[in-house]
Chain A
Amino acid sequence: MQDRPTAPELLDALAELLFADVREWVPRERRFQVLVAANVCAVVARELRAGREPTLADIELFERLAAGYRRPDDEDDPDAIARDAAAELARAIRAGELDDELPAVMGHLRTHVRRKLEVARPGYAD
């Protein structure tokens, strides 16, 4: 256990510093980069708060869509499993193996994209 502030709370503080103060200290034509930095802090804070749930939901979805996919035996890191399953699903789609159900697959993948947006850009999908 670490003492407070928690990791997302620290990132909140950093984002506030960048957005409210540093932005004013930086020449106007470079402020965009400060906003990029503040936004990255906000994204990471949301990702930490969301925890493993979105990744586990993606794994469940990818495994359901990529029939026959088997996760590597020796792998227990959810991020690595999700990437591996995503790669297999991407391959199957490219190879035309899911052509018969493509509109349904696209519909399901919107829930995956929505989960990414909730971390990276809340409100974009509304």
Chain B
Amino acid sequence: MSDAPAPDDVRSALADALGTDPGELALTPIPGGASRQTFLVKGGDGRWVLRRDPPGASSFAPLETEFSLMRAAADAGVPVPRALAYEPDGGRFGSAGFLMEHVDGTSVAPRLLRREEFAAARQAIPVQLARALAAIHSVDPALLEGVTARPGHPALAACAFWEAALDEVGEPLPAVEAGLRWLRLNPPALAPEPCLVHGDFRLGNFIADADGLAAVIDWELCHLGDPAEDVGWLMIRSWRFGNDELPVAGMGEREAFLLAYEEAGGERPDPEQLRWWEAMGNVKWAVICARQAADHLSGRRRSAELASLGRRICEPEWDLLALLAGEGAR
């Protein structure tokens, strides 16, 4: 893990945001965040979280957008950590980053899926996720400065976006290409109105405590698009972390989730549309795996964990081709 920002600089930014000096601060890296750095910020009587770009590494969306978006999502009733202070690249956090409230609980998938203390949470989380997702999709896009729609039909825009991301990585992946080509030739019907899409709504990107969902985090991939994109991504096999029979975060059934999503005001995707976006979710995960392995190989971020993701590309490739062969979503 590379250097943390200077505690005194963080203290000064936090004092500005809170209107009161938080006192001396200690920063410790929180392991896990593969594409952004996250630090726990501890003071005498408070805890915060600092999220910033890894110095020198690439990211999909600016942290400034993520910051303002989290504020809009909070206003729409989405459980999110309160975002407090943003600093641009070269500011008090070193690279671009922002401070937010600390939310108690865990986002670590194996803990949420296996530990006894989360047994009640596992029952509650699928419906809570459905409501949170419906709330995200209800955010008025007019309020979202900096969150952009990819041009054209959301499905074709997703094809173009991930083709370009794959080209940037430069890894030849014929199975991903074949899936992408099929998706491009068979797009679902046009979504009614582009809405706010979280872009990375899945197990691992929400914090839960013993009562269930506490906060949706990691808004890095947000954009305007088809709400079914978030539903499909949530359900891909990789985010079931071994509980393959339960598509919703490895905890819940597909149908119960869709019912709760609909009851909370979401528009239920039709099965073909959902299959399209679940397949696209597998494209996306394959490309992200390749991209993270490439970050290691180029020396941008040397990490055995990132390196090992290169050998996980074949998992979403398999699920992609199985879904498109009509073998049903597991």
Give A residues with C-beta under 8 Å from B: 29-30, 32-33, 36-37, 39-40, 43, 62, 65, 83, 86-87, 89-90, 93-94, 96, 98-99, 102-103, 105-107, 109-110, 112-114, 116-117, 119-121, 124-125
**Binding site secondary structure of chain A:** helix
Whether B311 and A109, one on each chain, are in contact in the complex, defined by CB atoms closer than 8 angstroms, is no
Partner of B174, one of A33, A43, A89: A89
List residues of chain B with CB within 8 A of the CB of A121: 312, 314-315
**B89 to chain A: closest CB distance in Å?**
29
**A48 to chain B: closest CB distance in Å?**
14
Whether B31 and A86, one on each chain, are in contact in the complex, defined by CB atoms closer than 8 angstroms, is no
Partner of A107, one of B181, B185, B318, B325: B325
We find that the number of chain B residues with CB closer than 8 angstroms to chain A is 29
Measured CA separation A33–B179 after assembly (Å)? 31
Kindly list the 6 A-B residue pairs having the minimum CB-CB distance in the complex, ordered from nearest: A116-B314, A87-B172, A86-B172, A93-B177, A120-B311, A90-B177
**B282 to chain A: closest CB distance in Å?**
11
Q: Which of B181, B185, B318, B321 has the most CB of A within 10 A?
A: B181
Cβ-Cβ contact count across A and B, 8 Å cutoff: 97
Whether A124 and B178, one on each chain, are in contact in the complex, defined by CB atoms closer than 8 angstroms, is no
Measured CA separation A119–B308 after assembly (Å)? 13
Partner of A117, one of B31, B315, B325: B315
List residues of chain B with CB within 8 A of the CB of A32: 31-32
Whether A117 and B172, one on each chain, are in contact in the complex, defined by CB atoms closer than 8 angstroms, is no
In B161-180, the 8 Å CB interface with A consists of 163, 172-175, 177-180
Given known contacts A30-B31, A120-B314, is B178 in contact with A106 (CB within 8 Å)?
Answer: yes
Residue B317 at the A interface, CB < 8 A?
Answer: yes
Partner of A83, one of B172, B179, B322, B324: B172
Mask for B95-138, Cβ within 8 A of A = 1, else 0? Answer: 00000000000000000000000000000000000000000000
Given known contacts A43-B311, A102-B181, A106-B182, is B172 in contact with A113 (CB within 8 Å)?
Answer: no
Q: Which residue of B is nearest A125, CB measured?
A: B318
**B239 to chain A: closest CB distance in Å?**
15
Whether B318 and A124, one on each chain, are in contact in the complex, defined by CB atoms closer than 8 angstroms, is yes
Whether B181 and A117, one on each chain, are in contact in the complex, defined by CB atoms closer than 8 angstroms, is no
Given known contacts A30-B31, A36-B308, A99-B185, is B321 in contact with A117 (CB within 8 Å)?
Answer: no
Mask for B25-37, Cβ within 8 A of A = 1, else 0? Answer: 0000001100000
Question: What are 25 residue pairs bridging A and B, where the CB atoms are less than 8 Å apart in the complex?
Answer: A32-B31, A33-B31, A40-B311, A43-B308, A86-B173, A86-B174, A87-B172, A93-B177, A93-B178, A98-B181, A102-B181, A102-B185, A103-B182, A106-B179, A106-B325, A109-B175, A110-B175, A112-B174, A113-B314, A113-B321, A114-B318, A117-B318, A119-B311, A120-B312, A121-B312
Q: Which of A83, A93, A99 has the most CB of B within 10 A?
A: A93
Residue B245 at the A interface, CB < 8 A?
Answer: no
Partner of A105, one of B178, B308, B318: B178
Measured CA separation A124–B327 after assembly (Å)? 15
**A46 to chain B: closest CB distance in Å?**
10
Measured CA separation A75–B163 after assembly (Å)? 28
**A34 to chain B: closest CB distance in Å?**
10
Whether B174 and A90, one on each chain, are in contact in the complex, defined by CB atoms closer than 8 angstroms, is yes
Whether B177 and A33, one on each chain, are in contact in the complex, defined by CB atoms closer than 8 angstroms, is no
Whether B175 and A112, one on each chain, are in contact in the complex, defined by CB atoms closer than 8 angstroms, is yes
List residues of chain B with CB within 8 A of the CB of A94: 163, 177, 180-181
Measured CA separation A38–B314 after assembly (Å)? 19
